[in-house]
């Protein structure tokens, strides 16, 4: 097995490998992606795209987006770019031996492969009627191989000619109602498939015996599986930070056992989300708990011991804080704010061990004598708390928070146009002018403080009567957050606190040019 490190990747999804040159598409965030070249362990930026899916085929950069039942396709060979509008939803693209472009997609008539010449004129159309859904295809000389599933969710591969005649059907003996074939290729007497779904896996199908081996990526030391390709009769597997090249025999050693890996980091983030909310609401929670204890003491007028009163306080605090956090964290804006504080603070300890000890002591001390046992409980809780904080601090670079988004089509299109303008002018600084009806209280300072975790001092603003004038420098942002999501988050936050009259966004570069 050969292992190649990829430099500074975030979420690579497609690649091509030729003469030690790796060209790949890295989906850096929800809305943006970059094509990169790695050669001699050096990363070279090729192209950035917005709101597009990206794949690499034959060292060509292919990116496309879907809208209104159509596919806008762009093919860039680093010399010129060609554009093509396809009627239907298309999602897989390859080139045959004659350099014709073959596109797999779905139209009203069903799954289809459309073939275009160098001038992007359609020369052939092949409908795949034997499959309910065809999700991937491969080209081998004068033959096409189409993979998908039939009406019974049985996975099959068809070998067809360029006239659309099915010459052979391979039943993979694999059935699923949640998986699809992302990609595949033929190697000797085997067909190697990348199956994606709840758990990504590799299926190796023996053409002669009609049996398969199903491999979970975790069993071969991969954190995830993004793409596979054939390279010099070997199997290249793309994961988050590496490209691994295996010989077929190496993979065939693994059995069919599928193992599931639970991502405990999500649970750890929820733990820190809860702990930060406890800190933020500490004064309110403690005050309410104390008020309840005082009311109970006054209403019943019974001389309770201090130990009983303390226990009553601990139980009330736990109940009050849980209810308070539940209702506050139901709001997405509050969850985003607290999670960004988790990223920003990088805690080594939280308040939760104290809360756990307080609660258990309050409940158990009424009936049992705890003494030193409570110290032992505190040490165990503190060690677990420290371990969780340490894990999250080391993994913060791998995660991002879904920011606020106001559901308005007009605003969405306006932001996309402004971002396209930014990219055309190669400008990363933007000015936002928002006029509100009544500016009474400054809620923007709070937004600035929390979003500093993703903008790193790349945001400043000032208030002129009812106008909010803000500047954002996208050069300073965490690249896991797109320009679109940051702008939408800012405007949505403004809308939650003010009534907006007007929004104007423009690149600062253009403004400076107009002044000169």
- Helix H, strand E, coil C: the string for 399-434 is CCCCCCCCCCHHHHHHHHHHHHHHHHCCCCEEEEEE
Number of domains into which the chain is organized: 2
Residue 141 lies in a domain: no
91, part of any domain: no
Q: Do 386 and 414 have their domain in common? A: no
The first and second tokens of residue 315, run together, are: 């139980």
Last residue of a domain, one of 349, 368, 394: 394
Q: Which residues contact 348 (CB under 8 A, 6 or more apart)?
A: 386, 389, 390, 393
Give per-residue burial for 408-435: e unless 16+ CB within 10 Å, then b: eeebeebbeebbeebbeeebbbbebebb
Q: Is residue 415 part of a domain?
A: yes
Residue 390 parent element (H or E): helix 373-395
Q: Do 328 and 422 belong together in one domain? A: no
Contacts of 44 (CB under 8 A, 6+ apart): 36, 37, 38
Token pair in block for residue 39: 């050669």
Residues 388, 435: one domain? no
- State the chain's maximal CA–CA distance in angstroms: 94
Residue 184 lies in a domain: no
| Domain ranges, residue 452 | 409-507
Residues 306 and 415 in one domain: no
Assigned domain for 479 exists: yes
Out of 370, 394, 418, a domain closes at 394
Identify the pLDDT of residue 66: 93
Q: What is the pLDDT of residue 477?
A: 94
Same domain, 302 and 382: yes
370 and 450 both lie in a single domain: no
In a domain? residue 310: yes
Give one word for 298, left, alpha or beta, with left for phi > 0 and alpha for psi -120 to 50.
alpha
pLDDT of amino acid 261: 57
Query: Which DSSP category does 441 fall into?
Result: S
Same domain, 497 and 427: yes
Task: Identify whether residues 433 and 329 lie together within a single domain.
Answer: no
Plot region of 152 (φ>0 → left; ψ -120 to 50 → alpha; else → beta): alpha
Give the span between the Cα atoms of 344 and 21, in whole angstroms.
Answer: 37
How many Å apart are CA 213 and CA 210, to the nearest integer? 10
Whether residues 367 and 418 fall in one domain: no
Looking at the fold, whether 386 and 499 belong to one and the same domain comes out as no
pLDDT in tens, 247-285: 998 888 876 555 555 566 677 777 777 887 888 788 888
The whole model's pTM is what?
0.83
Residue of 463, 462, 470 lying closest to 508 (CA atoms): 470
Q: 389 and 301 in one domain?
A: yes
Where residue 422 sits, what CATH number does that domain have?
3.30.70
Task: Say if residues 454 and 478 touch (Cβ distance below 8 Å).
Answer: yes
Same domain, yes or no: 268 and 361: yes
Q: Which of 371, 394, 417 is the last residue of a domain?
A: 394
Instruction: For the chain, 516 residues long, give each residue's pLDDT as a single digit of tens.
Output: 888 889 889 999 999 987 778 999 999 999 999 999 998 888 999 999 998 899 999 889 999 999 999 999 999 998 899 999 999 999 999 999 999 999 999 999 999 999 999 999 999 999 999 999 999 999 988 889 999 999 888 999 999 998 889 999 999 988 888 899 999 999 989 999 999 988 889 999 999 998 888 888 877 777 788 999 998 889 999 998 888 899 998 888 876 555 555 566 677 777 777 887 888 788 888 888 888 888 877 777 666 666 777 777 888 888 888 888 888 888 888 888 888 887 777 777 788 888 877 777 777 766 666 566 677 778 888 888 888 887 777 665 567 888 999 989 999 999 999 999 998 888 999 999 999 998 888 889 999 999 998 999 899 999 998 999 999 999 999 999 999 999 999 999 999 999 999 999 999 864 444 443
Residue 334 lies in a domain: yes
Measured between alpha carbons, how far is 178 from 198 in angstroms, rounded to an integer?
Answer: 7
Instruction: Say if CB 210 and CB 194 are below 8 A apart.
Output: no
In whole angstroms, give the CA distance from residue 318 to residue 86: 59
Kindly state whether residue 140 falls inside one of the protein's structural domains: no
3-state secondary structure 483-513: HHHHHHHHHHHHHHHCCEEEEEEEEHHHHHH
């Amino acid at each position: 097995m050969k292992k190649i490190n990829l430099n500074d990747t975030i979420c690579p999804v497609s690649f091509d490998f030729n003469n030690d040159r790796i060209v790949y598409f890295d989906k850096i965030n929800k809305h943006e992606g970059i094509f990169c070249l790695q050669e001699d362990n050096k990363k070279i930026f090729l192209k950035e795209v917005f709101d597009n899916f990206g794949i690499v085929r034959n060292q060509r950069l292919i990116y496309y987006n879907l809208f209104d039942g159509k596919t806008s396709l762009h093919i860039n060979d680093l010399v010129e770019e060609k554009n093509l509008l396809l009627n239907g939803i298309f999602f897989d693209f390859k080139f045959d031996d004659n350099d014709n472009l073959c596109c797999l997609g779905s139209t009203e008539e069903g799954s289809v492969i459309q073939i275009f010449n160098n001038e992007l004129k359609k020369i052939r159309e092949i409908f795949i009627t034997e499959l309910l859904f065809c999700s991937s295809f491969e080209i081998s000389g004068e033959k096409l191989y189409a993979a998908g599933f039939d009406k019974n969710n049985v996975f099959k591969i068809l070998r067809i000619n360029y006239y659309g005649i099915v010459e052979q059907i391979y039943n993979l003996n694999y059935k699923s109602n949640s998986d699809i074939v992302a990609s595949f290729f033929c190697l000797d007497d085997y067909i190697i498939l990348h199956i994606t779904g709840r758990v990504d896996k590799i299926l190796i199908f023996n053409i002669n015996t009609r049996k398969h081996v199903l491999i979970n990526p975790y069993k071969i030391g991969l954190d995830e599986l993004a793409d596979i390709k054939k390279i010099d009769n070997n199997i290249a597997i793309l994961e988050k930070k590496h490209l691994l090249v295996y010989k077929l025999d190496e993979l065939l050693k693994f059995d069919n056992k599928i193992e599931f890996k639970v991502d405990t980091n999500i649970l750890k983030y929820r733990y820190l989300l809860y702990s930060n909310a406890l800190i933020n609401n500490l004064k309110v929670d403690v005050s309410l708990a104390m008020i309840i204890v005082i009311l109970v003491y006054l209403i019943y007028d019974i001389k309770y011991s201090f130990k009983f009163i303390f226990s009553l306080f601990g139980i009330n605090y736990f109940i009050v804080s849980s209810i308070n956090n539940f209702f506050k964290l139901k709001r997405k804006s509050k969850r985003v704010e607290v999670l960004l504080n988790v990223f920003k603070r990088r805690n080594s300890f939280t308040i939760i061990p104290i809360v756990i000890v307080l609660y258990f002591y309050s409940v158990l001390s009424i009936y049992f004598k705890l003494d030193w046992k409570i110290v032992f409980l505190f040490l165990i809780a503190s060690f677990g708390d420290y371990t969780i904080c340490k894990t999250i601090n080391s993994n913060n670079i791998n995660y991002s928070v879904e920011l606020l988004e106001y559901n308005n089509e007009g605003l969405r299109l306006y932001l996309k146009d402004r971002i396209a303008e930014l990219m055309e002018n190669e400008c990363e600084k933007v000015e936002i002018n928002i006029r509100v009806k009544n500016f009474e209280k400054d809620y923007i300072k709070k937004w600035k403080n929390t979003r500093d975790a993703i903008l790193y001092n790349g945001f400043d603003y000032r208030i002129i009567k009812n106008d909010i004038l803000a500047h954002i420098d996208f050069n300073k942002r965490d690249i896991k957050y797109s320009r679109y999501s940051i702008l939408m988050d800012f405007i949505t936050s403004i809308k939650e606190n003010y009534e907006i009259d007007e929004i104007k966004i423009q690149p600062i570069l253009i403004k400076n040019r107009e002044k000169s």
